[in-house]
């Protein structure tokens, strides 16, 4: 193939005796059958396929579900580290809450982007992890642009994240974000109002999809994916409320979209929140100075990939958010 990296080519008759199997399964089986190669999970094989790094009978295939037969010829490239465009960055700071053989739990600071995107290839958590994992000689799992990253937080949201340290732990953790969802996540959100749920409950059950009028936003829409958010009042303030919010699903911007849709916009949210100018005078300046959404991933629990036992973590908001909460109580 015409891309740099580690190149492999094989015939499917080396690995399968069925009439047809999925392409991602065939790629994964090839590596598991080679004692001199590291195993390659189906999830990682799927990412290589979707990136256009796999050919079947000379043609690029981007469908993991494509069926191949024993006569199929497969070529693939696993990109070399220097070709991944994800450089190690020792200046990226994040707090390590706990480290085990299989995973890290970190407290991501507000303002840190989790992984590279368009026009943003450096200075991300992923760049920092490449530096950290390289220094500690571990294989993080995931793909070469998201090493070890099982889930994400928005740039301006702070708080707990779990990071895998191997391909097997990545698979274990990733599965826990699907039903029956053994990952539990709880957030703190500062709002000026309580959600106005027409069902008079503390559960918001409203599907979420891309906003048809603004592709950078999400919105509550009948044709969206199911999304469920639970909320309770942690503390009533003089100028608002500190809510504890629990995610039952994990849609993009879910907490921000759900609270805004029911009239409880998160303080400081520049996308879904109230404009600074519309706020009461006494909170305009403190909200403007805070300059981000007041949302923090406070609690995280999951089943350890090593022994299956439940592990739980708590991280308090940073001092700036704590000061903002106190300012809304004066």
Residue 193's Cβ-side half-sphere holds a number of Cα atoms within 13 Å equal to: 14
Determine contact, residues 193/262, Cβ cutoff 8 Å: no
Catalytic residue among 17, 19, 24, 154: 154
Determine contact, residues 186/245, Cβ cutoff 8 Å: yes
Contacts of 183 (CB under 8 A, 6+ apart): 151, 162, 173, 176, 177, 300, 301, 302
Determine contact, residues 47/84, Cβ cutoff 8 Å: no
Give ∠ CA 55-59-64 in degrees, rounded to 5: 50
State yes or no: is 269 an active-site residue. no
CA distance 86 to 88: 7
Which one, of 39, 110, 79, 109, lies nearest residue 269 by Cα?
110
Catalytically active residues, by annotation: 154
């Amino acid at each position: 193939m015409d891309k740099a990296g580690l190149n492999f080519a094989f015939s499917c008759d080396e690995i399968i005796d069925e009439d047809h199997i999925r392409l991602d399964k065939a790629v994964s089986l090839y590596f598991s059958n080679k004692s001199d190669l590291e195993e390659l999970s189906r999830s990682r094989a799927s990412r290589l396929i979707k990136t256009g790094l796999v050919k079947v009978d000379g043609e690029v295939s981007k469908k993991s579900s494509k069926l191949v037969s024993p006569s199929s010829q497969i070529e693939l490239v696993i990109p070399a580290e220097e070709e991944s465009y994800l450089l190690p960055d020792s200046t990226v700071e994040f707090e390590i809450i706990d480290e085990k053989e299989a995973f890290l739990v970190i407290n991501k600071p507000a303002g840190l982007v989790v992984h590279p995107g368009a026009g943003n290839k450096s200075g991300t958590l992923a760049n920092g992890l490449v530096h950290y994992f390289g220094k500690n000689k571990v294989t993080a799992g995931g793909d070469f642009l998201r090493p070890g990253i099982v889930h994400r937080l928005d740039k301006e949201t702070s708080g707990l994240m779990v990071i895998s340290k191997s391909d097997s732990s990545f698979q274990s953790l990733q599965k826990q974000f699907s039903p029956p969802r053994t990952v539990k996540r709880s957030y703190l959100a500062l709002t000026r109002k309580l959600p106005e749920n027409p069902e008079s409950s503390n559960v918001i059950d409203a599907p979420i999809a891309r906003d048809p009028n603004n592709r950078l936003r999400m919105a509550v829409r009948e044709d969206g994916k199911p999304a469920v958010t639970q909320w309770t009042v942690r503390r009533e303030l003089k100028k608002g409320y500190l809510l504890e919010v629990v995610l039952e699903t994990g849609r993009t911007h879910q907490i921000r979209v759900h609270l805004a849709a029911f009239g409880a916009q998160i303080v400081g949210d520049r996308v879904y929140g109230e404009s600074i100018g519309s706020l009461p005078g006494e909170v305009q300046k403190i909200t403007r100075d805070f300059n981000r959404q007041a949302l923090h991933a406070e609690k995280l629990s999951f089943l350890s990939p090593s022994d299956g036992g439940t592990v739980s973590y708590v991280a308090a908001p940073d001092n700036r958010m704590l000061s903002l909460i106190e300012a809304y109580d004066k």
